[in-house]
Structure 1
Amino acid sequence: MLRSVFLFLLFIYSSSALSDEIIFADSHGPISVIGDHLHKKNEFMFSYRLSKMKMGGMLQGQNKISIDSVMSAPNGASDSSGRYMNSPTLMNMNMHMFGGMYAPTDNLTFMLMTGYLEKEMTSERMRMSGGTRFNVNSNGISDTRLSALIRLYKSDFLKSHIGLGVSFPMGGIDKRDSTPMSSSARLGYGMQNGTGTFDPYFLINNVNNFDKVRVGEQFIIKKPVSGDNRNGYYYGTSIDTTIWSSYRWLENVSTAIKFNYKYLGQINGSDDEMNKRMNPSMDSNNVGHQKINLGFGINYINNNDFLRNHRLGLEIILPIYQKVRGIQMSETYKIMIGWQFGFGQN
């Protein structure tokens, strides 16, 4: 094990010393923006990101509602005549994201992304059941994305490319945990780690260069094409639109502000093993949203000889608008940190 770690560190150090080219911190977008750049011929890049998200409180549409209101709302079972028996109060999620990129030409870069998820949800039971709280947990690998980024245009002022990719159903959709009502209950949709479907996606990305100021735009659309997963449902179309602006303070330091719009359509079908009477997170009527987030980020790239071209990024993401379908948890904040390292020679 120690020998493997030593060899990996030696590889990283030796690869860092290959290039004398000065690379600016703002040549990449905020750390949460993925697929925003291409690489030169025969270049590789590896990356790791850690995303920590917290959710708390409940929304119905755009409105905040109390736990009592959740448990008096009609559920999706029994022609909506029943009521939920418990309600989420808090959720924490850690996502470890691993990425790799390789450019066989200056105009084509392949990208592979996968991840590992850790989720914990706290729920409160209805008062007639004691009003106690309980936790459920899930963890495992996420769906895996493979894409090709293709250059459309490049000049000193504008860089533009598209991306074509597929999300492969590697994440679990059968996660279970113990609850007060069952020793092995199927967890809700948000506690699962994947979609269970093959999901093609398309992106277009532009970056405008105004010397120390850069402005980037990215649009991504993803749509399942394989029909129902093995549990009888598939997610709706998702759209992710981002615009950001960065300022380069030094060659190796830049900051950015980002606006992001996310749309997720309603789910089609439902998992019959999820008890809609128990919790809004198990009710397929409560999937889908429109959200606008505001992000603040900082990028750093090491231009010293030791560990040259290693990048670090940090971003804080806050919700400024949330409209959910049905009853869902409200996002509180997200923090993402990341490391990137590119190397290679023409």
Structure 2
Amino acid sequence: MKFAWRVAIGITCLLPISQAVQADNFDALRSRADKHAPASLMGDHLHDPGEWMVEYKYMNMYMEDNRAGSRTLSDAESIAFGASSNPVTNRAATPTQMTHEMHMLHIMRGVTDDITVYTMLMLPSITMDHQRRMDGSSFTTHNSGFGDTTFGALLRLYSDVNDDLILNVAASVPTGDIFRTSTIPSRGATDQALPYPMRLGSGTFNAKPGITWKHYRDTGSFGLQFQTNLPVGRNYRDYAVSDEFRLNTWYSHLLSDNFSTSVRLENLWRTNYDGADPAANDMMISTNVEGFRGGYSLNLGIGFSALIKKHLLNVEFVPTLYQDLDGIQLETDWQVAASWSRSF
């Protein structure tokens, strides 16, 4: 009888210790250099109650040459293709390359163990080069300013020592300007509306639900994320931007607790625009054609993270592996993302 009581007392004393060990392991696995997803992604982690995180993120997307389906076109081929496309387009010019830069301020705060809220402020800067059809001369247009603002909450659906399942409930509000004009394309003769890819926002409230699963191991972590961007209705210019669906999977490998590398594969689907801006003359240039905005892309991400005294530095280079685009569109060659974040 005395032996039985000693065993029972021993087991009772061990239970809090086991729970404490599990808690220590839980926190340790989420306090390494791979605690965040690769730099191009967001909405993958939570914070403790009362904890804040501030992040600055820079992203750059570079596009050169046009593509019809999966075939790359030269500038001359793009103009010729537009003459027989449906609708006919590129009668005035063809785009030749574009740089889309984005500066983002990301603020997060833990509300409970299972709820973190966040907001993202965006500052896009877009430059597009063109070639005129009539004389082959070139011109450049530029647009920058505030983009759309996102608000969201991350909800932990399931968690154990090695796994997190997180629901992202988010929406963007139309704070980005969607109608600016320029006289550059017409050599100063008339004002023309900037084409769709050069506009700073969507003009609509967008639902942005997503879900992320992360699995932590001693040597690194796996992740799987499905994220969407779905405009609600049409904007005041009578169009809605693409529905967007992203499926990402990645593996982050620890070099040490403070340094990690990552590899990521992204599937991206976009629909064509719904509706049409009356000022978007689709005959003049292909970037004004609402039916030439959809398609599929497969992207590869190669990243590196460093955790230095609670400062997380995260960078990723993203070449495009494959694209199949509707109509004529500028093809994406590569993207880069870099961020700094600090929790306190």
- The TM-score with structure 1 as length reference comes to 0.87
Find out whether 1:189 has 2:190 as its counterpart. no
1:158 alignment counterpart: 163
User: Residues 67 and 328 of structure 2 are in contact (CA less than 8 Å); yes or no, is this contact kept in structure 1?
Assistant: yes
* Cα separation, partners in 2 of 1:40 and 1:54, compared to 1, 3 Å: same
Match of 2:34 among 8, 26, 43: 26
Find out whether 1:223 has 2:224 as its counterpart. no
User: Residues 57 and 339 of structure 2 are in contact (CA less than 8 Å); yes or no, is this contact kept in structure 1?
Assistant: yes
**Unaligned stretches of 5+ in structure 2?**
1-27
Match of 1:145 among 147, 150, 157: 150
1:244-323 map, 5 Å? 244-302=250-308, 308-323=309-324
User: Residues 168 and 197 of structure 1 are in contact (CA less than 8 Å); yes or no, is this contact kept in structure 2?
Assistant: yes
- Amino acid in the other structure paired with 1:164: V
CA distance in 2, matches of 1:116, 1:289: 25
CA distance in 2, matches of 1:99, 1:165: 13
User: Residues 172 and 194 of structure 1 are in contact (CA less than 8 Å); yes or no, is this contact kept in structure 2?
Assistant: yes
Offset of 1:75 from its aligned partner?
6.5
CA distance in 2, matches of 1:258, 1:81: 38
Find out whether 1:105 has 2:112 as its counterpart. yes
Offset of 1:337 from its aligned partner?
1.1
Secondary structure of the equivalent of 1:27?
Answer: coil
* Cα separation, partners in 2 of 1:196 and 1:133, compared to 1, 3 Å: same
Which has the higher Rg, Structure 1 or Structure 2? 2
CA distance in 1, matches of 2:90, 2:130: 15
Offset of 1:247 from its aligned partner?
0.5
1:43 alignment counterpart: 51
Offset of 1:269 from its aligned partner?
0.8
User: Residues 90 and 285 of structure 2 are in contact (CA less than 8 Å); yes or no, is this contact kept in structure 1?
Assistant: no
Segment drifting more, 252-261 vs 273-282: 273-282
Secondary structure of the equivalent of 2:324?
Answer: strand
User: Residues 75 and 277 of structure 1 are in contact (CA less than 8 Å); yes or no, is this contact kept in structure 2?
Assistant: no
1:324 alignment counterpart: 325
* Cα separation, partners in 2 of 1:210 and 1:23, compared to 1, 3 Å: closer
Segment drifting more, 113-122 vs 274-283: 274-283
CA distance in 2, matches of 1:47, 1:178: 37
Match of 2:247 among 229, 241, 253: 241
- The TM-score with structure 2 as length reference comes to 0.87
Offset of 1:111 from its aligned partner?
1.2
* Cα separation, partners in 2 of 1:271 and 1:312, compared to 1, 3 Å: same
CA distance in 1, matches of 2:159, 2:290: 44
Query: Aligned residues, how many?
Result: 315
User: Runs of at least 4 residues of structure 1 off by over 6 A?
Assistant: none
1:55 alignment counterpart: 63
CA distance in 2, matches of 1:185, 1:253: 49
**Unaligned stretches of 5+ in structure 1?**
1-20, 303-307
User: Residues 210 and 228 of structure 2 are in contact (CA less than 8 Å); yes or no, is this contact kept in structure 1?
Assistant: yes
Offset of 1:325 from its aligned partner?
1.1
Offset of 1:243 from its aligned partner?
0.5
CA distance in 2, matches of 1:184, 1:65: 29
- Amino acid in the other structure paired with 2:128: M
Match of 1:173 among 154, 164, 178: 178
1:124 alignment counterpart: 131
Offset of 1:76 from its aligned partner?
10
CA distance in 2, matches of 1:166, 1:44: 20
CA distance in 1, matches of 2:321, 2:162: 31
User: Residues 149 and 162 of structure 1 are in contact (CA less than 8 Å); yes or no, is this contact kept in structure 2?
Assistant: yes
CA distance in 2, matches of 1:270, 1:75: 21
Offset of 1:55 from its aligned partner?
0.6
Offset of 1:73 from its aligned partner?
3.0
CA distance in 1, matches of 2:291, 2:130: 19
1:10 alignment counterpart: none
User: Residues 137 and 177 of structure 1 are in contact (CA less than 8 Å); yes or no, is this contact kept in structure 2?
Assistant: no
Offset of 1:222 from its aligned partner?
2.4
CA distance in 1, matches of 2:270, 2:199: 16
CA distance in 1, matches of 2:87, 2:31: 58
Offset of 1:80 from its aligned partner?
3.3
The percent identity for this pair of structures is 27
User: Residues 75 and 280 of structure 1 are in contact (CA less than 8 Å); yes or no, is this contact kept in structure 2?
Assistant: no
Offset of 1:286 from its aligned partner?
1.1
Secondary structure of the equivalent of 1:150?
Answer: strand
User: Residues 56 and 91 of structure 1 are in contact (CA less than 8 Å); yes or no, is this contact kept in structure 2?
Assistant: yes
Offset of 1:32 from its aligned partner?
1.1
CA RMSD of superposed structures (Å): 1.9
